[in-house]
Amino acid sequence: MLSRSLLLALTASAATANVIPRQDATTCTSPVVRKEWRELSTAEKTDYLKAAVCVRNLPKQKYAEVDAVKTRMDDLTYTHLTLNQQIHFVANFLPWHRWYVQLHEDMLRDECGYTGRQPYWDWSIESDTNTMPVSPIWDAETGFGGNGVLTGNQTRGFSRCVMDGPFANTTYTLGPGWPNINDVVNEEHCFAREWNGGLGRDPATGEQIIDDMQAAAYSTTVMRTIHNFNNYYRMSEMLEGLPHAQVHSIIHGDMGPATSPNEPLFMLHHANVDRAWARWQGRNETRLADYSGFNDRVTLSIRASIDDEMPVLELADTKPVVRDYMDTMAGPLCYTYSKMTL
Ligand SMILES: *[C@@H]1O[C@H](CO)[C@@H](O)[C@H](O)[C@H]1NC(C)=O
Ligand SMILES: *[C@@H]1O[C@H](CO)[C@@H](O)[C@H](O)[C@H]1NC(C)=O
Ligand SMILES: *[C@@H]1O[C@H](CO)[C@@H](O)[C@H](O)[C@H]1NC(C)=O
Ligand SMILES: [Cu+2]
C-alpha cells in the first residue's frame, strides 16, 4: 500500500501570528447542514464548482514575497504545504483541517459569492459498491472531471492532465516538486490525476491498472473499526493513516503531495474525514474534550494539549486554539453533517 509515504516528505517552517480569539463564543442553535455531494441539486453543485473555479482565479492576498504563490487558492495551498510536518501525523491533524476547511468555505462565500455550504464526499459509498472509477464525483458536468489523460506533450508537468470538467486546463505553479514531491517549486504544471497512484501497467496493453482503487482502505467496515476506538489518539491515527491517506494516494497527481489542496476534491474529502471525527465525538462531553497525542512526529516527545495554538503562517491573523475546534456546534463553528450514522 502507498498510504502515508506520500505525505511524509520534508518541509518545516516557523509560524508567526498574534493571539486574539477569532470570535466570541456564540450559541449555535440552528447549525448549517453540510450535505453529501450526491444530495446537492444540480444547481447547488454548479454553484460550488463555480466558486471553486473562482478562488483559483483570484489573485493572492498573502505571501507577497513568495513568487510561486499566485492565486487566492495558492494562499491556502502554500500554507498547507509549508506546514506539512506540523499538521500531519501529529495530534492536531483533525482540528487543524477542521479549521482549514471552514476557512476555505468562508472564502468561497466572502470572496466568490457562494451561498451554499461545504459539501462532503462519502467515499465509503464507492468502496462498498466497488464503483470508485465510475463515481458521479468524476462527472464532467455535475462533478469534478475524471482521471488525467496522456497528452503526448513531453514538457515536464504537462504529460498527464485532467482534460474534462470544470477544472480542465487549470494550471498550478505549486507542486509536485522534484526531486522531492513536497518541495516548493515555481514552475507551471497542468492539473493532474493518476488514478490508483499510477501503481502499475498492464504488461499486455500498457494501460494503467485502475482496478478497484484500493477500495478496502475506505469501506464502511474500516470506518466502523475507526469509530470503535475509545480514545482520540488511536482513532485519529487510523483515520489519518488509512482511509484519509489512501484516498489521497488513489487519486494521486495533484492530490498526492502536500500541495493536495490544488485538487478541488481535497475539501470534500477532508469534510468527510471531519464528519468521521464529529460522528465519533457524538457531542459527548467526554469526547468533546478528548484530545491527545504528540506535536512532533519523530521522537513523540511533545505531548499535545487541548490549549495548544495551531500554526497558520500568513493565512490568518490569529492562531486558532485546538479547544475552539473540538465541537462543530460551538465557538467559531456552527455546522453539522446530513448523515451522522454509520
Ligand atoms: C506542452 O505544454 C506546454 C504548456 O502548456 C506548451 O507551452 C507547449 O507548447 C506544449 N507542447 C506541445 C508539443 O504541445
Ligand atoms: C481546454 O483546452 C483545450 C485545448 O486548448 C480546448 O480544446 C478545450 O476546450 C479546453 N477545455 C475547457 C474546459 O476549457
Ligand atoms: C461518552 O463517552 C465516554 C467515553 O467514550 C463513555 O464512557 C460514555 O458512556 C459516553 N456517554 C454517553 C452519554 O454516551
Ligand atoms: Cu492535509
Q: What is the CATH number of the domain that holds 53?
A: 1.10.1280.10
Distance 102 CA to ligand 2 centre (A): 32
Is the minimum distance from the CB of 228 to ligand 3 under 6 angstroms? no
The answer to whether 275 and 342 have CB atoms below 8 angstroms apart is: no
From the alpha carbon of 168, which atom of ligand 2 is closest?
13
Nearest 5°: the CA angle 66, 48, 68 is 10
From the alpha carbon of 169, which atom of ligand 2 is closest?
1
Instruction: Name the residue of 235, 281, 286 whose CB sits within 8 Å of the most ligand 3 atoms, as the mutation to test its pocket.
Output: 286
Q: Is 194 helix (H, G, I), strand (E, B) or coil?
A: coil
Secondary structure element (H or E) that encloses residue 33, with its range: strand 32-34
Averaged in consecutive runs of 10 residues, what is the pLDDT profile of the chain (342 residues)? Answer: 33 33 65 98 98 98 98 98 97 98 98 98 98 98 97 96 97 92 94 93 85 96 98 97 98 97 98 98 97 91 96 98 98 97 93
Residue minimizing CA distance to atom 10 of ligand 3: 284
Distance 89 CA to ligand 4 centre (A): 10
From the alpha carbon of 164, which atom of ligand 2 is closest?
13
CA gap 336, 279 in Å, rounded: 10
Q: Which of 236, 237, 263, 227 is nearest to 248 (CA)?
A: 263
* 54-108: pLDDT as tens digits: 999 999 999 999 999 999 999 999 999 999 999 999 999 999 999 999 999 999 9
Residue minimizing CA distance to atom 3 of ligand 3: 286
Q: How many domains does the chain have?
A: 1
Distance 317 CA to ligand 4 centre (A): 20
Is the minimum distance from the CB of 231 to ligand 3 under 6 angstroms? no
Distance 194 CA to ligand 1 centre (A): 20
Residue 20 maps to a domain: yes
- Exposure class string for 212-227: b at 16+ Cβ within 10 A, else e: ebbbebbbeebbeebe
Give pLDDT, residue 203: 86
Residue minimizing CA distance to atom 4 of ligand 2: 169
CA gap 187, 68 in Å, rounded: 8
Residue minimizing CA distance to atom 11 of ligand 1: 153
Distance 92 CA to ligand 4 centre (A): 11
- List of residues 6+ apart from 26 with CB closer than 8 A: 331, 334
Compute, in degrees rounded to 10, the torsion defined by CA atoms 68, 70, 72, 75: 20
CA gap 246, 215 in Å, rounded: 9
> Helix 265-281 to helix 220-227 angle, to the nearest 10 degrees?
40
Residue 131 maps to a domain: yes
Residue 201 maps to a domain: yes
Q: Which of 228, 192, 239, 224 is nearest to 98 (CA)?
A: 239
Is the minimum distance from the CB of 230 to ligand 3 under 6 angstroms? yes
Give pLDDT, residue 207: 82
As given in the structure block, the three cell numbers for residue 139 are 462527472
Max distance between CA atoms of the chain, in angstroms, equals: 62
Secondary structure element (H or E) that encloses residue 189, with its range: strand 189-190
Give pLDDT, residue 26: 61
Residue 19 maps to a domain: yes
Residue 342 maps to a domain: no
Give pLDDT, residue 73: 98
Range of the domain at 20: 4-337
